[in-house]
Homo-oligomer: A and B are copies of this chain.
């Protein structure tokens, strides 16, 4: 993707894709509803900061998640932003049809390893969720540009069930790929992952799925978010979900909180010499829009507090 004039992105090439999930994962975890108009401006600001992929909402029952009721509108507006991949979450075929109707072409579907979490989250067993993936992928006949990715929730442990079986995780990723998913990633929905486990599971994922091995969705519930990113990088992962100001968690995983903070993730990656194309200062400025849409909301992030280091240089810039 090429950077366009007017965007502050630092480079048109990236080494790591940072996929922003704040407008979906973040906002669905907050009781209040961010006004649609602020959502538009927030998504635009995040894109202007250089983010190339943003998960802007989910197509679910507005009764269950009223915060997501305007996702169709948000998708339609976000699609007018140049060079931005607009992702939407859909739990099932109904959601996928609604998504397509609003113009969304990149869908992400959750399949939870934990039976208890799966039922609480999307009212289905893991097998039923995989069957939905197959049905959604079948829509490609009429929508050849449709892209479907799967994120395996509770892949590192579950707040309800505790530890999960790693063979079962890998088995479900294979089934999701067989169902037609273009990529299958692993999500630490609950903040249970540790770096040894992250390295092990992503190494296995890559061995099983090859170039259909997807990204890492990590939480910072116990402070291990960026430590797990380092382990995932070692295992070859090059796509990471994160959320501005660490907004988010999972309303159906009790005790889960805190996505990896986008600002801190970008700082980590750029410090390590990995290009993200994202401008940290522009990202920090975009936090104001979160507060405009959700006055008084608690924002997370260490770089926002400490600032960039003296002499900080973005990866790929001249010494």
A contact residues vs B (CB 8 Å cutoff): 157-163, 190-192, 194-197, 220-224, 226-227, 229-231, 234, 255, 257, 261, 264, 267-268, 271-273, 301-303, 306-307, 309-311
Q: Which residues of B contact A261 (CB under 8 A)?
A: 223
Q: Which 10 A-B pairs have the closest CB atoms?
A: A162-B311, A223-B302, A194-B271, A226-B227, A196-B272, A162-B310, A223-B264, A230-B230, A227-B230, A163-B311
Q: A190 → chain B, closest Cβ, in Å?
A: 8
Nearest B residue (CB) for A231? B230
Q: Which residues of B contact A224 (CB under 8 A)?
A: 226, 264, 267-268, 271, 302
Residues A223 and B311 in contact, CB atoms below 8 Å apart = no
Given contacts A227-B227, A268-B224, contact A306 B255 (CB under 8 A): yes
Nearest B residue (CB) for A158? B310
Total copies of the chain: 2
Residues B272 and A195 in contact, CB atoms below 8 Å apart = yes
Residues A257 and B227 in contact, CB atoms below 8 Å apart = no
Q: Of the candidates B222, B231, B268, which one forms a contact with A302 in the assembled complex, judged by CB atoms under 8 Å apart?
A: B222
Instruction: State the majority secondary structure of interface residues on A.
Output: loop
Nearest B residue (CB) for A260? B223
Q: A257 → chain B, closest Cβ, in Å?
A: 7
Given contacts A159-B310, A311-B157, contact A268 B227 (CB under 8 A): yes
Q: Which residues of B contact A231 (CB under 8 A)?
A: 230
A to B CB contacts below 8 Å, 9 in the list: A157-B310, A160-B310, A163-B311, A220-B302, A222-B306, A224-B226, A227-B230, A230-B230, A255-B307
Q: Which residues of B contact A234 (CB under 8 A)?
A: 234
Residues A303 and B267 in contact, CB atoms below 8 Å apart = no
Q: Which residues of B contact A227 (CB under 8 A)?
A: 226-227, 229-230, 268
Residues A222 and B264 in contact, CB atoms below 8 Å apart = yes
Q: Which residues of B contact A161 (CB under 8 A)?
A: 310
Q: How far is the CA of A220 from the CA of B301 in the complex (A)?
A: 11
Q: Which residues of B contact A268 (CB under 8 A)?
A: 194-195, 223-224, 227
Q: How far is the CA of A267 from the CA of B310 in the complex (A)?
A: 31
Q: A155 → chain B, closest Cβ, in Å?
A: 14
Q: How far is the CA of A257 from the CA of B192 in the complex (A)?
A: 27
Q: How far is the CA of A302 from the CA of B300 in the complex (A)?
A: 12
Residues B264 and A302 in contact, CB atoms below 8 Å apart = no
Q: A253 → chain B, closest Cβ, in Å?
A: 11
* 4 other A-B residue contacts (CB within 8 Å) besides A162-B310, A194-B268: A159-B310, A222-B306, A224-B271, A226-B226
Q: How far is the CA of A162 from the CA of B229 in the complex (A)?
A: 25
Residues A257 and B194 in contact, CB atoms below 8 Å apart = no
Question: Which of A223, A226, A272 has the most B CB atoms < 10 Å from its CB?
Answer: A223
Nearest B residue (CB) for A159? B310
Q: Which residues of B contact A158 (CB under 8 A)?
A: 310
